Amino acid sequence: MPIQPSAFPGIFIRTSERAAHDGSGPALQGAEFVRRNESALQQLASRDSGRALLRQIEAITTMAPRKRVVLTPAQDGKVHVRAFRRDDATQSRVGLNNAADTSAYLSEWRAPDAFMPVVAATPLPGRETPGADEAWVYTDPEVAWRYPTPESGEGEPSPADYVATLGHELIHARDSLHGIQPQPTADQTLYLHPVIDAPIRRSLLPVELRTVGVGAHAGAEPSENTIRAEQGLTQRPSYHGFTTDGHGDAAASASVASAVAPRDPQDRSS
């Protein structure tokens, strides 16, 4: 699939004109996929919070030109982000998809210094700055939700709200490029993700709560909810039922056994 630059520095779009023969491929590909994503990026850029997010990605990729975000068609509507390093010899992508990689290269480290409590991850070998080389956003402009009331739960399908979906995933992509996310822990799995049907560790919940902008992170900017507010969209009341790290949330009743293998620690989704 060809990869072309978008109208925004550091963000590229990967397309294909050929759909899967069995009909299981993305609903939108090719020129329409490009058009819908360029339109959503323009929407983000038209307001303060979205514009700040795009400028953060631009700043990261300007300081480290090898870094980039790539928007690519999602399969079966499963929107998520994956982090990669690029092999200079072969120009192939290598997934940062195990706990050791994530802990070494993508994790925030808590430091005892109150002035600088969070230390960025260690750079990949041969890199001057921390974080992944590439963050791939597997996305579908038809996948988005609105939340008519605070009790809306998982929300209602609403492609018109796609700017919020894209903003959410671009926040994850920014963090992957910057090398900041909580370290994976041995904490037990909390629940099955309703979209990707995979369990999530408790250590990843703070990332999602901050990205959505709920609970202790309400008002954090940019977040999915600040983007929703400035675009005139309904607020997302929780991250799939969670507003805290899981203690006391009603959604905690959906916990799954810790024996179930968790998803890749760097694989984050809406």
| Maximum average pLDDT range among 119-128, 154-163, 251-260 | 154-163
Is a pLDDT exceeding 50 seen at residue 204? yes
d(CA 210, CA 201): 16
pLDDT of 193: 61
Integer-rounded Cα radius of gyration of the chain:
18
Beta bridge partners of 84: 95, 134
Scanning the structure block, which residue is given the tokens 């809406």? 270
If pLDDT is split at 50, 70 and 90, which confidence band does 17 have?
A: low
User: DSSP states of 163-224 as a string?
Assistant: HHHHHHHHHHHHHHHHT--PPP--PPEEEE-TTT--EEEGGGHHHHHHHHT-GGGTT-SS-H
pLDDT at 246 over 90: no
Task: Flag whether pLDDT at 58 surpasses 70.
Answer: yes
CA diameter of the chain: 56
175-181: average pLDDT: 89
Q: Tell me the one-letter amino acid at 57.
A: I
pLDDT at 187 over 80: no
Q: How far is CA 31 from CA 35, 170, 213, 236, 246, in A?
A: 6, 21, 32, 30, 41
- The CA distance from 229 to 49, in Å, is 9
Architecture of the domain made up of 3-187? Alpha-Beta Complex (3.90)
- Each domain of the chain, given as residue ranges in start order, spans 3-187
CB 181 within 8 A of CB 108: yes
Mean pLDDT for the stretch of residues 85-109: 85
Q: Which of 172, 183, 186 lies closest to 261, judged by CA?
A: 186
Per-residue pLDDT, 98: 79
Within 10 angstroms of residue 241's Cβ, the number of other Cβ atoms is: 17
C-beta atoms surrounding 209 within 10 Å: 22
Distance CA 98, CA 96 (A): 6
Residue in the block written with tokens 């983000």: 44
pLDDT computed for residue 269 by the predictor? 67
Q: Which of 74-78, 167-171, 240-244 has the highest mean pLDDT?
A: 167-171
